[in-house]
Amino acid sequence: MKFLKGLFKFLPIFVLAGLMMLKVNVLTAAPIATIVACFVAYITEKIKMNDLIDAAVDNVKGLILVFFILMFAYAMASAFMSTGVGASIVNMSLSLGLNARTVAVTGFIVTCILSVATGTSWGTFAACAPIFLWLNHIVGGDILLTTAA
């Protein structure tokens, strides 16, 4: 019986995967799977609907903060690129001898320092990705290694 209950808890994942395989838009499939997950939690764990809604609202509050951080970070990256800061960083890096072998290591070190200094990995990604991917393209480095760094 516990096995069937455990298998039943995977129903929202199966619903989401099935809808995605049927080429249903993700903006439609995700809410449907979320509603199925609420019903599964209500049936298997006897959680009240008010508690489910409260948990969902609390999680959305956390996501909103993440989206604001991302919006600010991408706005800063866009401002840097449009004002020429990104191009000057690329030119300075090339004049200092950055090449295809060192672009990923340099990107890793810079993003580590920036991530610790700012306290957010999202902002670091948004600020550094355009610059280091652009540098990687210019010097002909490994795109996967640079993206992972």
- Per-residue pLDDT of the chain (149 residues), as tens digits, is 778 888 888 999 999 999 999 999 989 999 999 999 989 988 888 888 888 888 888 888 888 887 887 787 778 777 877 888 777 887 888 888 888 888 888 888 888 888 888 777 777 777 788 888 888 888 888 888 888 87
Does residue 42 belong to any structural domain of this protein?
yes
pTM of the model: 0.52
CA distances from 89 to 92, 102, 121 (A): 5, 15, 20
- Whether 76 and 117 map to the same domain: the answer is yes
Residues 143 and 112 in one domain: yes
Residue 123 structural domain: 63-148
